Chain A
């Protein structure tokens, strides 16, 4: 589960799960941060948070105080939060959730249809773990996405080959 932080005035509040976030008074102009996000971001700019506002679009906008973030040097609360985030990334990995390695899926794909795609998937699976161990959360996530991509490509190719094969047999037996 993603852990969200949000800024209220000069304070950083969190971590909250998405469900908890729903009960908070968050507007599209509230600044939100979670691990993996490069910087504090307006909640309205995060598509995944849209659900928070669908029911509350009629409420008046929040006071303009929060409309623009203070410059980096002055944003004590924000800066502190960001540092904490960096600290977490480096030293507190066990608390985060390692991205899925797709290892089992890659092995299955290798054995059952498409060895090349499967083997690429396995290499990416190893990278997820290596990068995660180095504290490179974004890199690990990227490798995880790549592993998934290759598993899906292999599955797709396997499916297409199977369908073509069955059709070829059907065509053959028709004559």
Chain B
């Protein structure tokens, strides 16, 4: 009971966010919070551009989304797979793949990618 309630609220929040981010362009609106890291340091964080990227993604503009935040777009398949493996039956069915893709080695690779991306996007920009 409690669990289904949790999922209901989570679903409601995600649904609201989807509506919000598909109807308003964060690039053209003041209402969306700016990245605190960027505001404070002047450097982009690994997540900068995510809101604008989500807006573009929801409109089907994959390339535009990629330009705002390539990391977000590239990590989507991995995130979806990770969520899929949260379902116990899926996890059991693809145990080996789950172990390889979400084992500690992969996790450290993910961490490395995020940090390298963080540095590069500031150096190359």
Contacts and interface: CB of A to CB of B under 8 A. Distances in A.
B114 interface: yes
A129 interface: yes
Interface string B59-97: 000000000010110010011001100100000000000
A37 interface: no
A126 interface: yes
Nearest to A131: B104
A129 B30 contact: no
Interface in A140-175: 161-162, 165-166, 169
Nearest to B31: A169
B104 A133 contact: yes
B86 A104 contact: yes
Contact of A119 (B30, B34, B86, B114): B114
A122 B104 CA distance: 10
Given A113-B47, A119-B111, A169-B31, A107 B37 contact: no
Interface residues of B, number: 29
B47 A115 contact: yes
Contacts of A169: 30-31
Contacts of A110: 46-47, 114
Q: Interface on chain B toward A: helix, strand, loop, or mixed SS?
A: helix
Contacts of B115: 119
Q: Interface on chain A toward B: helix, strand, loop, or mixed SS?
A: helix
Contacts of B72: 111
A111 B71 contact: yes
A111 B110 contact: no
Interface in B16-74: 30-31, 33-34, 36-37, 45-47, 50, 69, 71-72
Interface residues of A, number: 24
Nearest to A130: B104
Interface in A91-135: 101, 103-104, 107-108, 110-113, 115, 119, 122-123, 125-127, 129-130, 133
B119 interface: no
Nearest to A168: B33
Given A111-B75, A161-B36, A169-B30, A123 B102 contact: no
Contacts of A165: 33-34
A169 B33 CA distance: 10
A86 B118 CA distance: 44
Contacts of B50: 111-112
A101 B111 CA distance: 14
7 smallest A-B Cβ distances: which pairs? A104-B82, A129-B104, A165-B33, A126-B107, A111-B47, A126-B104, A130-B104
